[in-house]
């Protein structure tokens, strides 16, 4: 079996995002429609055993980091059972979870016991009313409680994901950074990407990293880029010069990081994608369910990596949004 997943541009792929469901308990407008969402039937989702097998094969191909995501991963029944399985796979050095936090207070202890330590909680605002406007649900208090529970249990690092939509979340940029500084939580601002189910995205609605940096420096204080960070990490990371707190920017639109990309994704229904914006997929579920050997599955993964393009073309007229929205890919 190949020992590393290297594409035709020399990029080594050691980072895998595993989506465990396309369902969600809230309805962020930049991700999901408000009503009539079509979810995949249960039998089309990979089982925990199938996910475990796929991740073990990926680990033998050099994958070292796994992030569990969705949809909302905490909606997948008995998620801690999967976390325990993934944490035990030889070669996986780094296991993380991305969640909207609504069910976190209930599940954080169980997930911690199963071996989870790194967690990203998605929270765009500290204002309850704006939270309701963005998510079309009234779960702000539950998310806050989830974050506090993780701090109490000793999770680390805890990060907060903020989707940066222009003419909407400007009032939240600085309060969130202050919130993070007071709690040793890194705030990651993610430029709004064209992956929403309703096709609302337009360039003019992206709040750009440079504008957010200017706001933070004006209101809080100077930022400096953190040296010696992993050059393949998607976020540009900064710390406040006064030594208190850090922030990150995932600037897919204004600072595309495709040249350093090391990521693969598998959707909840078992489709392997070499890019968030890919239009083609490799059907791993079909291989698993027709009893393909580990070697055949490994070859399919290597083939997907070999087919990987240089990068998305959000900034060109050629850009075509992928047929699946964010909740169905696994952000």
21 binds, among ligand SAM, ligand SF4, none (CB under 5 to 8 A by kind): none
Residue with tokens 């801690």: 80
197 lines the binding site for ligand SF4 (CB under 6 A): no
Span 75-114, contacts to ligand SF4 by CB under 6 A: 100
Contacts for 310-319: CB closer than 8 Å, 24+ residues apart: 310/9, 310/258, 310/259, 311/256, 311/258, 311/259, 311/261, 311/275, 312/252, 312/256, 312/258, 312/275, 312/276, 312/277, 314/193, 314/194, 314/252, 314/253, 314/256, 314/277, 315/253, 315/256, 319/194
Question: 192 touches which of ligand SAM, ligand SF4, none (CB within 5 to 8 A by kind)?
Answer: ligand SAM
Options 15, 21, 56, 99; binder of ligand SAM; rule CB under 6 A = 99
Query: What is d(CA 16, CA 87) in angstroms, rounded to the nearest whole number?
Result: 14
Confirm or reject binding of residue 122 to ligand SF4 (CB under 6 A): yes
Nearest to ligand SF4 of 137, 178 (CB atom)? 137
* Residue number with CB closer to ligand SAM (2 or 40): 40
Q: Does 13 bind ligand SF4 (CB under 6 A)?
A: no
Considering only residues 5, 18, 20, 31, which one is a binding residue for ligand SF4 as defined by CB under 6 A?
31
The answer to whether residue 143 forms part of the interface with ligand SF4 (CB under 6 A) is: no
Q: Which of residues 51, 63, 70, 139 is near ligand SAM by CB under 6 A?
A: 70
Place of tokens 């698993």: 288
Question: Which among ligand SAM, ligand SF4, none contacts residue 302 (Cβ within 5 to 8 A by kind)?
Answer: none
DSSP string, 198-256: T----GGGBPPHHHHHHHHHHHT--EEEPTT--TT-SSEEEEETTSS-EEEEE-TTTS-
Closest among 299, 284, 177, 288 to 240, alpha carbons compared: 177
Which residues 1-60 are close enough to bind ligand SAM by CB under 6 A?
A: 24, 30-31
Length of the chain: 331
What does 139 bind: ligand SAM, ligand SF4, none (CB cut-off 5 to 8 Å by kind)?
none
**Distance set, CA 48 to CA 60, 80, 101 (Å):** 18, 11, 22
Q: Which is nearer to ligand SAM, 112 or 192 (CB)?
A: 192
Which residues would be at the binding site for ligand SAM (CB under 6 A)? Answer: 24, 30-31, 69-70, 72, 98-100, 122, 161, 163, 190, 192-193, 195-196, 326-327, 331
Binding site for ligand SF4 (CB under 6 A): 24, 26-28, 31-32, 70-72, 100, 122, 326-327
């Amino acid at each position: 079996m190949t020992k590393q997943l290297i594409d035709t541009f020399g990029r080594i792929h050691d980072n895998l995002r595993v989506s465990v469901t396309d369902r969600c308990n809230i309805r962020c407008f930049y991700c999901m429609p408000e009503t009539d969402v079509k979810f995949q039937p249960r039998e089309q989702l990979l089982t925990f055993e199938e996910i475990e097998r796929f991740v073990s094969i990926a680990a033998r191909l050099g994958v070292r980091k796994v992030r569990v995501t969705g949809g909302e991963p905490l909606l997948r029944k008995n998620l801690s059972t999967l976390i325990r399985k993934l944490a035990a796979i030889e070669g996986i050095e780094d296991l993380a979870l991305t969640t909207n936090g609504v069910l976190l207070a209930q599940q954080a202890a169980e997930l911690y016991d199963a071996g989870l330590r790194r967690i990203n909680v998605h929270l765009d605002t500290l204002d309850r009313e704006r939270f309701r406007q963005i998510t079309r649900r009234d779960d702000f208090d539950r998310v806050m409680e989830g974050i506090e529970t993780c701090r109490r249990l000793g999770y680390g690092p805890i990060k907060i994901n903020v989707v940066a939509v222009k003419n909407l979340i400007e009032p939240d940029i600085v309060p969130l950074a202050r919130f993070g500084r007071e709690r040793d939580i890194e705030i990651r601002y993610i430029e709004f990407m064209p992956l929403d189910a309703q096709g609302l995205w337009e360039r003019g609605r992206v709040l750009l990293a440079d504008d957010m940096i200017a706001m933070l420096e004006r209101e809080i204080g100077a930022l400096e880029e953190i040296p010696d960070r992993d050059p393949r990490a998607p976020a540009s990371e900064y710390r406040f010069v006064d030594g208190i707190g850090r922030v990150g920017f995932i600037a897919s639109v204004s600072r595309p990081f495709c040249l350093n990309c090391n990521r693969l994704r598998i959707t909840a229904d078992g489709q392997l994608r070499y890019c968030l914006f890919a239009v083609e997929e490799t059907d791993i579920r079909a291989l698993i369910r027709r009893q393909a050997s580990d070697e055949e599955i490994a070859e399919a993964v290597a083939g997907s990596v070999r087919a990987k393009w240089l990068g998305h073309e959000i900034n060109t007229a050629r850009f075509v949004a992928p047929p699946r929205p964010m909740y169905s890919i696994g952000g």
